[in-house]
Amino acid sequence: MDGNNLTRTVMNYSLQVQNLKCGGCAKTISEKLATIEEISAIAVEVQTSTVSFNATNEAAFQKVENKLIEIGYPPEGTKNSMLTKAKSFVSCATGKLSS
């Protein structure tokens, strides 16, 4: 099989996250996740606290989870410490101020 004819399987993922409260949060999440090359079609839904995206592999999914935790929006079921909540507050404010 010719390597040029290989197609990549793209999977759609959706995560419910904690601490997502407003458009400032959503903007920060979108901007930070956009730096991950293996993902696309990022959508953040404030009303349902859902982050959706397409990824080319499982490693990209892990990168998204790690980035969400790093900026203060851990997936549901993940520890949500005071430090994580503080990070989300700063991320939210950053998203609002950069509008």
Determine how many CB atoms are found less than 10 A away from the CB of residue 81: 10
**SS3 label, residue 13:** strand
Q: Which of 3.40.50.300, 1.20.1730.10, 3.30.70.100, 3.10.20.520 would CATH assign to domain 9-97?
A: 3.30.70.100
66, 78 Cβ separation under 8 angstroms: no
Q: What residue ranges do the domains of the chain occupy?
A: 9-97
27, 89 Cβ separation under 8 angstroms: no
pLDDT for 1: 43
Average pLDDT per block of 10 residues along the chain, 99 residues long: 59 96 94 96 97 94 96 94 88 78
18, 57 Cβ separation under 8 angstroms: no
